[in-house]
Amino acid sequence: MAIRKIRTDGDPILRKKSKVVSNYSDRLKVLIEDMYETMDIAYGVGLAAPQVGILKRIIVIDNRDGENGNRFYMINPEIIEKEGEEVSLEGCLSVPGKQGSVKRAKDVKVRYNDLSGEEKIMEAEDFLARILQHEIDHLDGILYTDKAIEMFEAESE
């Protein structure tokens, strides 16, 4: 496994639409493992492939509150249902030092593939739904700052 460089706002790759994954090779598994390691070292809860310079529709999640399992990945994720809405603070590994208030759906249903290409469905609510929407936006070249109602300097820990 390897830690990859996280691209930050201003890097043009973050504004490009990612390509659908159709080749489920061993290289894909290595990329996902690298993404987990990179996310962990940066203390993130989610990471999308474009954030490490790869224009493929892949996200990894570490949902620390444990809803739907703690760590998982999604290949070719697509939101197929949204319900409700709420405004909450978000941050991003690609936008260091900032936070913003963003309106998102409270509940989502996502269709995605696993490493064997099998189609799966996941339903998520609250924080996990927010993470999924944020990371899937990355796959379409959208940053949370594009949707933020208000931006703030991040509080230092």
User: What are the catalytic residues?
Assistant: 135
The full DSSP string for 84-102 is --EEEEE--TTSTTEEEEE
Residues 6+ away with beta carbon under 8 Å from 57: 18, 19, 20, 21, 49, 75, 76, 77, 139
| Cα gap 58→39, rounded to integer Å | 13
C-alpha distances in angstroms, 25 versus 29, 32, 115, 123, 148?
7, 12, 8, 27, 37
> What is the number of residues in the chain?
157
Cα–Cα dist 14/116, whole Å: 27
| Cβ pair 63, 45 in contact under 8 A | yes
Give CA torsion, residues 73, 124, 142, 4, to 10 deg: -20
